Structure 1
Amino acid sequence: MKYSNLGPTGVSLAWPLSRPVVILLCGLPGSGKTTFARRRERETGAIRFSTDEWMADLGLDYFDALRDNVQNRLDRLWAQLVERGLSVILEDGTWQREERDELRHIAERLGAGTELHYFDVPFDELWRRLETRNANPPYGTVPITRELLEDSRLRLQRPDQAEFSLFDRFVVHH
């Protein structure tokens, strides 16, 4: 078995000097979550979790019935890393307030700091980006139809000021 592609080189996984941080990303497809998460991963050494990429790595379709199993395993894995003092970036969009609350509570129980990054991009710009991405989809992404984007927009529960105040840090990206 080869281990040449296990992750970025030069990233120290030594115990951090301060408490770990769980970074939640909230936003629709095409809003810039992955671009931000990859940059933050390089800059900080936090471990990035993308269920879509794991599904692709396992040869599973985005809508495969095993998605929940993969997500549950990834949730256990990131929690173990946080317990060991490492920061994580959870890239899965977290559209529902209930999901964000649950993840924040887990992070707090583990003694981690919490950040919420909300990607607030106008619908027409999202669709423009997705049309470009759909033409040549990068690895681990799923082609998104306009209908699916519309449905996603209806299901998104946008964070408000009251929710932002529950996190140690929050940022709105436009």
Structure 2
Amino acid sequence: MITDTCYSADIIPDLASRRVILMCGISGSGKTYFARNLERYGFIRVSADAIIWDKYGSAIDSLSSEMQMEVFRAADDEILEIVLRMLKDGKRVVVDSTMCKRSKRDAMRRACALAGTEPLLVYLEASLSTLSRRLESRRGVGPDDLIVPLSRLHSFVSNFQPPQSDEPHIVIPQ
């Protein structure tokens, strides 16, 4: 569990009026912790890691990097479908996923626009040392505890596309 977050508790109630919150950040940045706090305000958390864990469990770690990328792409597609269904049903949603690429965020924004809403991107910005420290304690016992080897973390950091100024978002340093 993350206990060293740097956001004010006041920010979460400010987001409560939104219909869709998109979490954004590298593994270990605190997305799940933040998203779980939003559940207290009526949001339904849709987690890429939970979708994958339900299908593969800890066996996800034994898949090749290429196969894992395919699994995560399929989870992204499933998340889009779930979010649209929930919006149609009048629900409020927090998407607990890395949203590591601009193209993923754009696809989610387009889908939300079709449902008549604009999502807010919440980017949890964390240093490599913070990410590494948080990930070291993971044991792979569930979807919120996926093991991320240091080599993969470095790959995530080098391939991450942070939100740009033309993307509606807030940044919460960790």
User: Aligned equivalents of 2:71 and 2:132: distance in 1?
Assistant: 28
- Which residue does 1:130 correspond to in 2? 135
Q: For residue 93 of structure 1, what is the amino acid of its counterpart?
A: T
SS for the counterpart of 1:171 is strand
Q: For residue 126 of structure 1, what is the amino acid of its counterpart?
A: L
Unaligned runs of at least 5 residues, structure 1: 1-18
Instruction: Kindly report the root-mean-square deviation, in angstroms, between the aligned alpha carbons of the 2 structures.
Output: 2.0
User: Aligned equivalents of 1:38 and 1:96: distance in 2?
Assistant: 23
Using the size of structure 1 for normalisation, the TM-score is 0.76
- Percent identity, aligned pairs only, is 28
How far did 1:74 drift?
Answer: 3.3
The answer on 1:139 being equivalent to 2:135 is no
- Which residue does 1:32 correspond to in 2? 30
Q: Which moved more, 1:76-85 or 1:114-123?
A: 76-85
- Which residue does 2:63 correspond to in 1? none
The answer on 1:96 being equivalent to 2:101 is yes
- Which residue does 1:148 correspond to in 2? 152
Please say if residues 27 and 33 of structure 1, whose CA atoms lie closer than 8 Å, have aligned partners that are also in contact.
yes
Q: For residue 162 of structure 1, what is the amino acid of its counterpart?
A: D
Number of aligned residues? 148
- Which residue does 2:170 correspond to in 1? 171
Please say if residues 20 and 86 of structure 1, whose CA atoms lie closer than 8 Å, have aligned partners that are also in contact.
no
- Which residue does 1:83 correspond to in 2? 88
Q: Which has the larger radius of gyration?
A: 1
User: Aligned equivalents of 1:97 and 1:70: distance in 2?
Assistant: 17
Per-residue displacement from partner, 1:22-49 (whole Å, max 9, x unpaired)? 211110000000000001112x211111
Q: For residue 171 of structure 1, what is the amino acid of its counterpart?
A: I
How far did 1:85 drift?
Answer: 1.5
Unaligned runs of at least 5 residues, structure 2: 1-16, 61-67
Using the size of structure 2 for normalisation, the TM-score is 0.76
- Which residue does 2:7 correspond to in 1? none
How far did 1:144 drift?
Answer: 0.6
How far did 1:120 drift?
Answer: 0.6
How far did 1:64 drift?
Answer: 8.3
The answer on 1:56 being equivalent to 2:53 is yes
